[in-house]
Amino acid sequence: MAKYYVQTKTTSNYQKKYGFPLINIIPAIVWSIPLHQKLFPDANFWVTLGMCGLFVLVYVFLSFSPVISAIPCIASVVMLTAMFWALVDWIDNSVIKIIIKIIILAIAVFIELGIFANALVPWLEKKAANDIKVIKVEE
């Protein structure tokens, strides 16, 4: 007579870290300035402040969303590397400057990859069915 064992998923669910994507506030603020200047150059102060604030809120909200978070993550890599590369330009030695810029780029990529994974992993866990495994043991 065969016995059946039912094994359920034993791993714990990933807990989303809500503070980590807030790193993207800085690139969102920096991106909002040229976007506003190109789209609405004649707007007054309060309209400008409101539109830039709305852009920052949407940008950070998209950093929390599952698949769409790739867009602000890529834009943040571009902006973070540009901001920190500007600090390295005072170094005269070209080899050291290039090495430091590569390190800055790698750090920015890993930070944004972490933000993307933070948004994507809980969504993927919900999409996966309950992993129930039925094992048949013959005696």
- Residue 137, domain member (yes or no): no
- Residue 112, domain member (yes or no): yes
pLDDT at residue 78 greater than cutoff 90: yes
Q: How confident is the model at residue 14 (pLDDT cuts 50, 70, 90)?
A: confident
- On whether the CB atoms of residues 91 and 111 are closer than 8 A, the answer is no
- Residue 29, domain member (yes or no): yes
10-13: long-range contacts, CB 8 A cutoff, minimum separation 24: 13/122, 13/125
Instruction: Compute the average pLDDT of residues 81-104.
Output: 92
- Residue 37, domain member (yes or no): yes
According to the model, what pLDDT value does residue 10 have? 65
Q: What share of the chain is helix, strand, coil (3-state, %, to 5)?
A: 70, 5, 25
- Residue 138, domain member (yes or no): no
Domain that holds residue 119: 18-129
Q: How many structural domains are present in the chain?
A: 1
pTM for the structure as a whole: 0.77
- Residue 10, domain member (yes or no): no
pLDDT at residue 74 greater than cutoff 80: yes
- Residue 66, domain member (yes or no): yes
- Residue 118, domain member (yes or no): yes
